[in-house]
Amino acid sequence: MSGEVGIVRGARDTLPVGFALLLIGLAWGYLAHAVGLPWWIAVLMSLVVYAGPAQFLAAALITIGAGIPAIVATTFVANLRYSLFAATLVPLLRDAPPARLVPLAHVVADGSFAVTLRHVAAHPDGRRLDLYLLGSSIVGFATFPPATLAGALLGSSLPPLLAYGFGFASPAIFIGFLVPLIRDRVAAAVAVLSGAATVLGNTYLPAGTGPVLAIVCASVVGGTIRWRREPRSS
Amino acid sequence: METGTALVLTAGMAGVTYCTRLPLFLLAIWQVRLPLLLDLVLGEIPVAAFAAIVVPGVLAPHGHVDLHPSNLYLYAGLASAAAVVVSRRLVVTIAVGVGLAILLRQLFG
């Protein structure tokens, strides 16, 4: 895969996610307006934080009057899953120029991660995945921040009916990524365990910690089951 | 929220988020190879991560578990899952899910 092909391919494969990000960005801009954030702060967050779920969480915390340290700490914990994503991508990025990884780390997000892994599953011997990830992120930054601007400026003139529907864009796209991955019983068990633990964690644990703990626990259980089944010479 | 406060908040959120993204990424620079068990655990992260977004998004859209038939996201979730199985296309999955959520809200909201 030559450089340009990799970028174009990553961008093209991300277009459906871009569609979802448009709706999520609109919903985020709408929410930011509702909790009293200036429109340009909403857009700036989408550019420099670039983490939809954490931004929604921050808005929820603002409405209950949480202070900045609490919101920042919650953001850190909630986004620790990006560390898990980064670790998952590491074996695939060995041929990337090291200097490029430092800025590229910023684009590791739920959508780009999902698209990249889907690409790897279909092309296991693909090269220069950093270019693919870069192309994917171009679509992410071309959709999420501008849609945030539109949502924040539209604000209360965005019909609540549409805002309700756009709220389903995130579950919908990740249903699209999740369902094809449930190929065996271990995967199904990991999904059920992670989903149930997240719901429980969101109910009983401090904000943001539930999903991260659930992802780690479910992955350790699933990975260990597969490890015990591995044929080993001993 | 005041502009200065909002800026500090944004900077703080951006800083800690980058700190979650960069460090493990750098393992690729150092060509670290992981033991098999860890590799297998990392292999389960996508399923676990997507389930952690989907399950609460559908079953608990307002923060608490809502299995009542009036939770319209339940139907939208089932329809999205059916759409991905049938079409294998993400755009169709989103269009069906979001479209059905809007339609049901309009009809029964």
B37-94: pLDDT as tens digits: 998 999 999 999 999 999 999 999 888 899 999 999 999 999 999 999 999 888 999 9
Q: In degrees to the nearest 10, what's the CA dihedral of A139, B46, A50, A126?
A: -40
Q: What angle do CA A159, A162, A165 make, to 5 degrees?
A: 150
Read off the amino acid at residue B106: Q
Task: Tell me the nearest-neighbour CA distance from A106 into chain B, angstroms.
Answer: 6
CB atoms within 10 A of CB A103: 11
The pLDDT mean for chain A works out to 91
Taking CB atoms and an 8 Å cutoff, what residues of chain B touch A204? none
The least confident of A60-64, A137-141, A212-216, A223-227 is A60-64
pTM of the predicted model, to two decimals? 0.88
Residue A97 touches chain B, beta carbons under 8 Å: no
Question: What's the rounded Cα separation, in Å, for the pair B51 and A174?
Answer: 8
Backbone angle region of A97, left / alpha / beta, with phi > 0 → left and psi within -120 to 50 → alpha: beta
Q: What angle do CA A75, B31, A187 make, to 5 degrees?
A: 60
- pLDDT bin (cut points 50, 70, 90) of residue A2 is low
- pLDDT bin (cut points 50, 70, 90) of residue A3 is low
- pLDDT bin (cut points 50, 70, 90) of residue A98 is confident
Question: What's the rounded Cα separation, in Å, for the pair A108 and A111?
Answer: 8
The pLDDT mean for chain B works out to 92
Cβ-Cβ contacts under 8 Å for A85 (sequence gap 6 or more): A108, A110, A113, B45, B49
Residue A134 touches chain B, beta carbons under 8 Å: no
Question: What's the rounded Cα separation, in Å, for the pair A129 and A96?
Answer: 7
Q: Which of A62, A168, A191 sits opposite B76 (nearest CB)?
A: A168
What are the tokens at B75?
């139907």
**DSSP output for B75-92:** HHHHHHHHHHHHH--HHH
Residue B8 touches chain A, beta carbons under 8 Å: yes
pLDDT value at A90 more than 90: no
Taking CB atoms and an 8 Å cutoff, what residues of chain B touch A51? 13, 17
Question: What's the rounded Cα separation, in Å, for the pair B29 and A190?
Answer: 30
What are the tokens at A156?
């209360």
pLDDT value at A234 more than 70: no
Residue A32 touches chain B, beta carbons under 8 Å: no
| Cβ proximity of A124 and A91 under 8 Å | no
Burial of A6 (0-12, 13-18, 19+ CB in 10 A): buried
Task: Tell me the nearest-neighbour CA distance from A232 into chain B, angstroms.
Answer: 11
* Mean pLDDT, residues A78-91: 90
The least confident of A16-25, A33-42, A105-114, B26-35 is B26-35
Burial of A155 (0-12, 13-18, 19+ CB in 10 A): middle
Taking CB atoms and an 8 Å cutoff, what residues of chain B touch A57? none
Can you say how many angstroms the Cα of residue A183 is from the centroid of all Cα atoms in its chain? 22
The proportion of chain A whose per-residue pLDDT surpasses 90, expressed as a percent, equals 66
Per-residue model confidence (pLDDT) at position B68 = 94
| Cβ proximity of A112 and A14 under 8 Å | yes
